[in-house]
Chain A
Amino acid sequence: MNLILVFEQALNGLQFGVTLFLMAAGLTLVFGIMNLVNLAHGSLYMVGAYLTVAAVGWTGSFPLGVLLGLLGTLAVGMLVEVIALRTLYERDHLDQVLATFGLILFFNELVAILWGRASLYTVLPNYLQGFIEIVPGSIYPVYRALVIAVGLAVALLLWFVVARTRLGMLIRAGASNRTMVAALGINIRLLYTIVFGFGAALAGLAGLMAGPIYSVQPGMGELILIQVFVVIVIGGIGSIRGALVGALIVGMVDTMGRAFLKPMLAHFISPTAAEAAGPALASMLIYLLMALVLALRPEGLFPAKSG
């Protein structure tokens, strides 16, 4: 294992981590404020990726396509909230899980009807296809570096909005006592729709940024959704700080495990056994980590009370 390789994999872990964070932030906000378990959050990730692929193809411009994809996901998110999810806030988690499960089936199939089941790939413009040298001797794809930068910037922006603006104040107030917020004359329904659209746009951003790296296909949202659940369980439900820490841990552990578990195992057991056990163990690693965290701290690392 040379250090350059470790460094590159750490960047990949960071890139996966910020993608997970964008998803987890929206999911945890919606849960913390509306008390809604939204399985269809993964569908919004998928919708973001598909809309962007379509918009980039249609306009021929990558930045314009990204903008349209983002706005489109925001609109889809708000529409879903108004039509289907609004009635679910007062229901128990079981009903929410089942109804949003139905939404997932709908979205996956709708996407398959519109764009087919085969994988799509976003074509990156030339200026995003190159490599940059972050440390001497190591080149890293520009696009992945951009994803990391955007992810960290959005995390900062999110912190600013929640902690420093009037909207953020309302969001925090809504999370701690929604009846009181409504009694003070705030339009709580509108606030919910805005928060949901906000979360949808974050999921869409995660999806559209993942598009050029992974393949865009029906059902892509659920693969990441379940990893996001692991993030939230580790970080503590309803806590944005927990989502950030959880996302970075899960992104790093998963990426490092896939890259280095096999060669590391080969030091201890026979190479053929490592060949078989390495990938299996690597794919289970984050779930084992989740079990460990739960055994030690059943409420997650940052229980929601601390914000």
Chain B
Amino acid sequence: MALFAISYDDQDVLREFTEKQSIPYPLLSDVDSAVIRAYGILNDQVKPGDLILYGIPYPGTFVTDADGVVTSKSFHGSYKIRDSPEALLDAALGRAQLEGARVAEAQGDAEVRVKVALRGGKGTIRQGIVRHAIARFELADGFHLYGEPVPEGMIPTQVQVSGPPGLVVHDPVLPPTAPLRLASMGVELQVWSGSFDIEIPFHAVGELVSECRPLDRDAVPIEVHVRYQACNDETCLLPKTETFRFDVPLDVVDIPKLGMHRGHGQREGNFDATPHLKRLLKRKFKESPLGFLRHAVLAARLNVAAKLRSRRDRASS
């Protein structure tokens, strides 16, 4: 698999970012946002001549097959909601890789084995980065589980994630079902068989992990509830409900090493971004002196706020 990352940054910062943050793939420099524009993903809420931000994209990701044809893409409503590298790898490979993920396995039986993995970020939760709870079912030959909808009295397969306030759980990602016609009941059911995954994406927002506040706890409990009933053509086993519990460490946000971000208790980057910001400001000043001035006012306010935070932290320590 080949990975490319594109931004409007110049080569100098990309070089330092690559070295100091040990980035193993090429960072490409689209300083005039030509490719961002050609792809139709220029952030058009930032107006030309406004601030230093003009030229940034709506962030997102494309995954292609070996012919360069898009097989999946991911654009979220907020720039703070981002995919983990593990999710991109899984999308490219077509199935979640559970090696290295935190896995909890139910006792199970000969007909159905279930395990649940937390995929992404080595089992930690960070602000906005999407993690996946992956329930992997492995069924003996001839057995199946039901997708929704099911007739009255039957049990559809359900996977639910519950956690503390500030954990946002997305809709489940379901694999395709196969139709199963039950002549005796005159219905067609949707079933899964063999080995398949049901994935529940989730992410943390400010109430749980915030980029403007140090962590207030080290870890939180997350539970994954799985309910199913396995049947074959002759019989159905008893319905089962399993709960998988994880104690999940929280992780702070990585921020660039810049004055305006300081005092929020986050993890700074490995290099000083100030000279790069100055160069970016110079570039943007040439494009739009008036827009630059508007930015400078806000930047000054953010810098003052950061200084006050630092002073307060020093005073309290």
Query: Are A and B subunits of one complex?
Result: no
